A and B are shown apart, each in its own frame.
Chain A
Amino acid sequence: QSALTQPASVSGSPGQSITISCTGTSSDVGTYNYVSWYQQHPGKAPKLIIYDVSNRPSGVSNRFSGSKSGNTASLTVSGLQAEDEADYYCRSYTSSSTLVFGGGTKLTVL
């Protein structure tokens, strides 16, 4: 049950785009299209922003998009805004019928 691998931090200027990667294995990300992404602001509960690799819940900005290739999923945030500064976590279903999160990525808007 090793955590999925995410970069510790990424940054970008307002209006730019950034991509956060989430690398797993063939036992999780590589096999199942059950990858979700969560945004967490300090002191708040996580918020679902992408589910099933590339789907956005109602109300989530279309500036957030998700994709997957092999064992790596990715979250892209386009048109960066100050309010996007937060921690981002990926999550995958696994072959053991468990869930596993990534270590988290801190997004800084410069």
Chain B
Amino acid sequence: EVHLLDSGGGLVQPGESLRLSCAASGFTFSSHAMSWVRQAPGKGLEWVSGISGSGVGGYYADSVKGRFIISRDNSKNMMYLQMNSLRAEDTAVYYCAKVAGSGWGQGTLVTVSS
């Protein structure tokens, strides 16, 4: 059974950084592209970033390009999202998810506020 556990959220001030983590199990992690998706309070889903199974190449939504960095460590079955220069509009629940097939984390809340 696919299991994704995202963590690392919290309350930060504008301009600060935060690193989210996603621990994967139940599938061959290195064979699957992964993504981060966020959902602002009361809003819809927004794709944030994606990474191939090999970890070569990261893709970003325009809203986070240049501020967020996606990475993965296939030896540890882990994916990360380094979020820099955070803004109030980055406040959301962040989910890690498989790009193909079923598999979402439970979400981790990031709040950017002074």
Interface size on B, residues (CB 8 A): 21
Report how far A102 CA is from B47 CA in the complex, Å: 10
Which chain B residues border A104 with CB–CB below 8 Å? 44-45
B56 beta carbon closer than 8 Å to chain A: no
Query: Count of A-B contacts with CB under 8 A?
Result: 51
Partner of A57 from B47, B62, B101, B107 at Cβ < 8 Å = B101
Partner of A98 from B50, B95, B100, B105 at Cβ < 8 Å = B50
Which chain B residues border A51 with CB–CB below 8 Å? 100-101
With known contacts A91-B47, A98-B47, A103-B44, A1–B104 Cβ distance under 8 A:
no
Binding site for A on B (CB under 8 A): 35, 37, 44-47, 50, 59-62, 95, 97, 99-102, 104-107
Binding site for B on A (CB under 8 A): 1, 3, 38, 40, 45-48, 51, 57, 87, 89, 91, 96-104
